[in-house]
C-alpha cells in the first residue's frame, strides 16, 4: 500500500495549475480550448534579459551561487527597493529564491508554528492557504465582496486579530481580484498592525509593475511596521519571466537569515543563469515592462466591455494584475439539460465542457461566488472566449 505522509495526503492541489492542466489535456485530445486559467503573461521575456542569460552560459557562470543569491543580484534588488519603493534593505536583508512561491513558503515555514493563526483576506491567491496548511498553521479569512472592491478595512483587520495571530498575508495588486490598495488604505492597516508588533506582515508585491492607475505602494514604507514586514517580489509577472524561477524578499535581518538557513537545506540558491538574467532585468531598460503593462490595460478594458454584454455577471474595474474576478452567483441554481449548477465549481466545469473556455472557480481563492478570468491572452482569444461565455451562459435556464 502506498503510504503518504498526512502532510501531503491532506494538502490541496493547486486549483490554478489543475485547471490549466485540464485545459491542456482537453486540447491534446483535439478540443479547441481557450485557457484563461493560468496567471502567466503571454509575452516572451524581453531580449536584453535573455541576452544576459546567454552571456552567463558563454562565460561559464554555471556554478552554485551563494544560497541567498549573488551579491550582484542582491545589490540590484537593494537599488530597486530604494528606487521604486523608497525602501532600505541591505543585501543581507535580501534572500533570492526559486520563484516568489518559494520566498513565501520560506517565510511561512520560518515564522508560523502549528496552531498559530495567519490572517488571509479573501479572495487570496490559492497557494497561501496550502502554505499555511503545510506549516500546520490555521488560516483565518477576512471575507470581502466585489462591492468593497475586495479590499479589507482596518476595522475588519482589527476584529480578526486574536492572541494566536502570528501573520497577515496579502497581495497588492491582488491575485485574483486585481485590486490595489492605495497609500491611505495601507496606512490604515499599518496603524492597526503597529499596535501588534508580534504579528508579521507578508506583503506580496509580485504584480507591482502591472498597475494601471498609479504608483505602486509598499506597506513596509510605514516606519512603525517596517520591522514587522516581509516584502515579497519576483520577476515572473512584471518581466514575463515565469519559467526562470526567481523571486525574493526584503525582510528584517533575522528573518532573512532564517530563510537563508531553510533554503540552504532545501533547494540552495536558484539557477545561476536565471540570476544573471534577473540582474539584467532590474538594471536594464524598463520600457518592455511598461509596454506589457499597457497591453494588459487595454485588454482589461476590452474584456470588461465584452463581459458587460453578458447579463448576470457583476464585474468591477480592477486597477492591477491581469485578472477579472466577476461575481457569478446570479447563475447558481440554474440548470443545463436538467443538471443544476450549484456553485462556481460547477459553473466553471460547465463552461469548460460547453464553451471550451478554462477559468478558475473562485472557491479556490476563498470567494465561492466568483470566477477568475486571466486576460493574459491574445486579443483574438479574449474576443472569442467572451463570445463563447456569452452563448454558453445564455443556455442556462
Ligand atoms: N504570488 C502571487 C500573488 C502569484 O500570483 C504568484 C503566481 N505566480 C506567485 C506569488 C508566485 O510567483 P513565482 O512564479 O515567482 O513563484
Ligand atoms: N500565480 C499564477 C496563477 O495564479 C500561476 C499559477 C500558480 O503558480 O499557481 O495562476
Alpha-carbon gap, residue 222 to 181, rounded angstroms = 14
Predicted TM-score of the model (pTM) = 0.96
Domain 47-283 carries which CATH code? 3.40.640.10
CA 282 to the chain's CA centroid: 20
**pLDDT, tens only, 301-343:** 999 999 999 999 999 999 999 999 999 999 999 999 899 999 9
Q: What is the CATH number of domain 6-44+288-394?
A: 3.90.1150.10
Banded pLDDT at 18 (limits 50, 70, 90): confident
CA distance 370 to 375: 16
Sequence-distant (≥ 6) Cβ neighbours of residue 94 within 8 angstroms: 68, 69, 74, 77, 78, 248, 249, 250, 256
Q: Which ligand is the nearest neighbour of the Cα of 104?
A: 1
Atom of ligand 2 nearest to the CA of 176: 4
Ligand 1 centroid to Cα of residue 100, in Å, is 5
For 270, list phi and psi in degrees, rounded to 5: -70, 175
Distance in angstroms (rounded) separating the CA atoms of residues 25 and 22: 5
Cα 101 to ligand 1 centroid, rounded to whole Å: 5
- Does residue 2 carry a pLDDT above 90? no
- pLDDT digits 0-9 by tens, 81-122: 999 999 999 999 999 999 999 999 999 999 999 999 999 999
pLDDT at 26 over 80: yes
Which grid coordinates belong to 120? Answer: 488571509
The answer on pLDDT for 38 being more than 90 is: no
Is pLDDT of 350 > 80?
yes
Return the DSSP state at 218.
Answer: -
The pLDDT score that the predictor gives to residue 206 is 98
Which grid cell sits at 330?
Answer: 446570479
Cβ neighbourhood burial of 279 (10 Å; 0-12, 13-18, 19+): buried
Q: Where are the domains of the chain?
A: 6-44+288-394, 47-283
Among 170-184, 271-285, 336-350, name the one with the lowest average pLDDT.
Answer: 336-350
Any residues with Cβ below 6 Å from ligand 1, and which?
A: 39, 99-101, 125, 171, 175, 204, 206, 234, 236, 242, 247
Residue 292 in this model has a pLDDT that exceeds 80? yes
- Measured by CA distance, the residue closest to atom 2 of ligand 2 is 39
The pLDDT of residue 42: 93
> Over 137-182, what HEC string results?
CEEEEEECCHHHCCCCCHHHHHHHCCCCEEEEEEECCCCCCCCCCC
Amino acid at each position: 500500500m502506498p503510504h503518504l505522509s498526512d502532510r501531503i495526503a491532506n494538502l490541496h492541489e493547486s486549483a490554478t495549475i489543475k485547471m490549466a492542466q485540464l485545459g491542456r489535456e482537453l486540447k491534446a485530445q483535439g478540443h479547441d480550448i481557450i485557457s484563461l486559467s493560468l496567471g502567466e503573461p503571454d509575452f516572451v521575456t524581453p531580449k536584453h534579459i535573455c541576452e544576459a542569460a546567454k552571456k552567463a552560459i558563454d562565460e561559464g557562470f554555471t556554478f552554485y551561487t551563494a544560497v541567498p543569491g549573488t551579491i550582484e543580484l542582491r545589490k540590484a534588488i537593494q537599488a530597486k527597493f530604494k528606487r521604486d519603493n523608497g525602501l532600505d534593505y541591505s543585501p543581507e536583508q535580501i534572500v533570492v529564491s526559486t520563484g516568489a512561491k518559494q520566498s513565501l513558503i520560506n517565510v511561512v515555514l520560518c515564522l508560523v508554528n502549528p496552531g498559530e493563526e495567519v490572517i488571509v483576506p479573501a479572495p487570496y491567491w490559492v497557494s497561501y492557504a496550502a502554505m499555511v496548511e503545510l506549516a500546520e498553521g490555521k488560516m483565518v479569512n477576512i471575507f470581502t465582496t466585489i462591492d468593497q472592491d475586495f479590499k479589507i478595512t482596518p476595522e475588519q483587520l482589527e476584529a480578526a486579530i486574536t492572541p494566536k495571530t502570528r501573520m497577515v498575508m496579502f497581495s497588492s495588486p491582488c491575485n485574483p481580484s486585481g485590486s490595489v490598495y492605495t497609500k491611505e488604505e495601507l496606512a490604515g492597516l499599518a496603524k492597526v498592525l503597529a499596535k501588534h508588533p508580534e504579528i508579521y506582515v507578508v506583503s506580496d508585491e509580485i504584480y507591482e509593475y502591472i498597475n494601471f492607475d498609479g504608483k505602486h505602494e509598499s506597506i513596509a514604507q510605514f516606519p512603525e511596521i517596517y520591522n514587522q514586514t516581509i516584502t515579497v517580489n519576483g520577476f515572473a509577472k512584471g518581466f514575463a519571466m515565469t519559467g526562470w524561477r526567481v523571486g525574493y524578499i526584503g525582510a528584517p535581518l533575522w528573518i532573512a537569515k532564517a530563510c537563508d538557513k531553510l533554503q540552504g537545506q532545501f533547494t540552495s540558491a536558484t539557477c545561476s543563469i536565471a540570476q544573471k538574467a534577473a540582474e539584467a532585468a532590474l538594471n536594464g531598460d524598463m520600457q518592455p515592462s511598461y509596454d506589457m503593462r499597457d497591453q494588459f490595460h487595454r485588454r482589461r478594458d476590452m474584456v470588461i466591455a465584452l463581459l458587460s454584454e453578458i447579463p448576470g455577471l457583476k464585474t468591477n474595474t480592477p486597477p492591477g494584475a491581469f485578472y477579472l474576478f466577476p461575481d457569478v452567483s446570479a447563475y447558481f441554481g440554474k440548470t443545463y439539460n436538467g443538471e443544476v449548477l450549484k456553485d462556481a465549481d460547477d459553473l466553471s466545469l460547465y463552461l469548460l465542457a460547453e464553451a471550451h473556455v478554462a477559468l478558475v472557480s473562485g472557491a479556490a481563492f476563498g470567494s465561492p461566488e466568483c470566477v477568475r478570468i486571466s486576460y493574459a491572452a491574445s486579443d483574438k482569444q479574449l474576443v472569442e472566449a467572451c463570445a463563447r461565455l456569452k452563448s454558453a451562459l445564455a443556455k442556462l435556464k
